[in-house]
Amino acid sequence: MTPPRPLRVACLTSARGWRGSGVSLAKIAAGLAARGHQSHMFAGSEAVRRAFANLGLPTSLVPTARTGLREAWALRRKLAALGTDVILADRPRDLRLAVLASLGRATSVLYRYNHSVLGAPLGFSTRLFFRQARGCIYQAERVRDQALTRAPWLADRPSWVIPNGFDLARFVPDPEAGHGFRARYSIALDAVVILTVAALERGKGHEVAMEALERIGGSADRVYLICGVGRREANLRAAAVRRRLATLFVGHLETDDLVGALNAADLVVHPSQEDIFPNAVGEAMACARAVIASDVGGVGELLGRDGVAGLLVPPGDVAALSEAMRCLLADPSRRAVVAAAARARIEACGTLARMVDGYEAVLYETVGA
């Protein structure tokens, strides 16, 4: 039997900064390239273009501030030069731009659903453009159910659920990496480190975690470590001072440093009020960290709902979060059991290969190869 031909796949994101969606698109593109497909990244900001390039991915900067004819024509020329078969659109504006740029061409458009539940509902124009897409990819069953509840017209096109996968060769339990990270940032080896990895933006729940830590009570050897960048950094720094919490902001970390930070943590807290399928939670699990996370989006499908591989709490519930933190911080043996189960769960159902298998199958189905 003749194997299907290699595909030419593009990914388009208008994200202003390096976020989880960019990380996920990069994993998809790299995984497909490793299987002989051609991948190309289209970024709407120089920061994201540079991040893709630093990962060794072919990338181009395209105008995405608007989704008019000028922007569509610029993207259309690039798609034509590459002979693109399929373009994965990251956001509603990317969907609109991809459809406009592909009109009359053989390029298929797939929408990788990425819409904030805290934002405005998807508008009429998005609905019109979505009708021209070949389908929609969701990262979790719950995310698809919530999306269809808010916008039933999404059911008019085919859909698939493909969870994120994680690099189990890079995100690993590594005590030495953790010790090295603590040394670089002058964190005592006997200090208790609670870590949150998230953009410093609205809805990520940092204030909820801070209030929960304040409820637990002061401890001279406890450090709240925050990894991420964003517009709310000054507000969060002020909140930490106001609550008298020992808090360390380390900004954006490249993968090796992030692995060190995860391994330096005694507990990882993901208090987001919205999320789809967060890389931060899966990467913490891969590093065998005990995780407490808000039950939003597909987090319950990632962690599981039985409390074995991590704990779920209602989003924004300070009392529930503080109690979960108190229980795990007071019981190192239970943390170790939860951490080991987290790694085992990711090994069983969260591999990169499984993720790439899913995308490859959908892409071939889309182009009819």
Of 239, 346, 351, 211, residue with least CA distance to 291: 346
| Cβ atoms of residues 313 and 303 within 8 Å | no
Contacts of 101 (CB under 8 A, 6+ apart): 72, 73, 75, 76, 79, 87, 107
Q: Give the span between the Cα atoms of 367 and 88, in whole angstroms.
A: 13
The whole-number pLDDT of residue 218 equals 64
Q: Give the chain's domains with CATH numbers.
A: 8-165+351-367 (3.40.50.2000), 175-349 (3.40.50.2000)
Q: H helices within 120-232, ranges in order?
A: 124-130, 141-150, 175-184, 206-216
Intra-chain end-to-end CA distance of the chain, in Å: 13
Please tell me the predicted confidence (pLDDT) of residue 249. Answer: 98
What token pair was written down for 303? 């962690």
User: Taking the C-alpha atoms of 170, 171, 172 and 176 in order, what is their torsion angle to the nearest 10 degrees?
Assistant: 80
pLDDT tens digit at each of 369 positions of the chain: 456 899 999 999 999 888 889 999 999 999 999 999 999 999 999 999 999 999 999 999 999 988 889 999 999 999 999 999 999 999 999 999 999 999 999 999 999 999 877 777 888 889 999 999 999 999 999 999 999 999 999 999 999 999 999 999 999 999 999 999 999 999 999 999 999 999 999 999 999 999 999 999 867 789 999 999 999 999 999 999 999 999 999 999 999 999 999 999 999 999 999 999 999 999 999 999 999 999 999 999 999 999 999 999 999 999 999 999 999 999 999 999 999 999 999 999 999 999 999 999 999 999 985
Q: Provide the pLDDT for residue 1.
A: 47
Please list the residues that pair with 111 across neighbouring strands: 89, 136
Which pLDDT score is estimated for 3?
63
User: Which pTM does this prediction carry?
Assistant: 0.94
Supply the pLDDT for residue 17: 87
Distance CA 350, CA 285 (A): 10
Sheet holding 267-270, edge to edge: 247-251, 222-227, 192-197, 267-270, 291-294, 311-313
